[in-house]
Amino acid sequence: MVTTDHQTRIQALLDEIFDADTGIYQQRGFQRRVGFGKRPALIHIDLANAWTRPGHAFSCEGMDTIIPAVQKLNDAGRAKGIPVVYTTTAYTNVDGAHPDTGLWHLKIPVEQLRVGDPAVEIDSRIEPAPGEQVIVKKRASAFHGTYLAGFLRARGVDTVILTGVTMCGCVRHSCEDAIAEGFRPIVVREAVGDRVPGVVEWNLFDIDAKFGDVESLATVVEYLGSIDPMA
C-alpha cells in the first residue's frame, strides 16, 4: 500500500521536474494543442475487473475517482449519441504456444487474462449499454490489430476521449496511435490510472507535450454538452 506521505514526496519531486521541463518544451515549440473536434467518441481502455478490482496482478489505483468520472462521461456522451467503445485484453491460449500473446507472456502474467474469465469482463459499475462496442485486444494499443480505427471512421469520428488504465501502457499507446491514425486524442485527467505512484502524472505531462491534450473532467463534460447530437 502506498502511503499518502510517499505520494506527496513523489508529487513534489515531479512538480519540480515538470517546472523545468515545461520551459524546455515551450522554448522548442512543443505543448501545442490538438483541440476538440466536432464528432467525438469515448474510448475506455481496459476498465475490466482485473484492473479495476483489488486482488489481481493487474489491479490499479484510483478507482474511487476513475469509476465516477467514467460514469459522468458516459452519461454526457450517451445523451448526445456518440460512440462509446470499451477495450479489454484477453487471450485464448496462455498455457501452450501462446499464439495470440506473441512474446508478451515473457514480460507480464498473461495467464491471468483468459478469454471468458470474469476478470477480463468490463466492470459492472460502468457496463456497456446495448449496442456499444467491446473490443478484445491483444496488445497495448486499442488500435493495434483491431477494427477500432475503421469503426470510428465509419461513424465520422474526429476526436477520441480516452480513459482507463494503465497510463504508462495501454492508455499511452492508444493515445499515440490515435493521433497517428488522424484522430484528436483527449485524455481525461481524472479518468486514468496506473499501478505505480508518479507514473500517471509523468505520462500525462509527456502526452500533453507531444501526443494529445490532457483535459479535466469538467472541461470534457462541458464540451460534450456543447456538441450537436450525433446521428
- Report the C-alpha gap between 221 and 175 in whole angstroms: 19
Query: What residue ranges in the chain does DSSP mark as E strands?
Result: 40-45, 84-89, 133-137, 159-165, 184-193, 213-215
Cα separations (Å) of 114 from 56, 99, 128, 153, 212? 13, 13, 20, 30, 32
Is 170 labeled as catalytic in the residue annotation?
A: yes
Residues with Cβ < 8 Å from 160, sequence gap 6 or more? 40, 41, 43, 152, 178, 183, 184, 185, 186
Q: Burial code of 75-96, b = ≥16 C-beta within 10 A, e = fewer?
A: ebbeeeebbbbbbbbbbeebee
Entry field: residues in the chain: 231
Q: What is the CA radius of gyration of the chain?
A: 17
Q: Which of 60, 168, 170, 175 is catalytic?
A: 170
**Three-class DSSP category at 150:** helix
DSSP string, 164-224: EE-TTTHHHHHHHHHHHTT-EEEEEEEEEE-SSTTHHHHHHHHHHHHT-EEE-HHHHHHHH
- Positions annotated as catalytic residues are 170
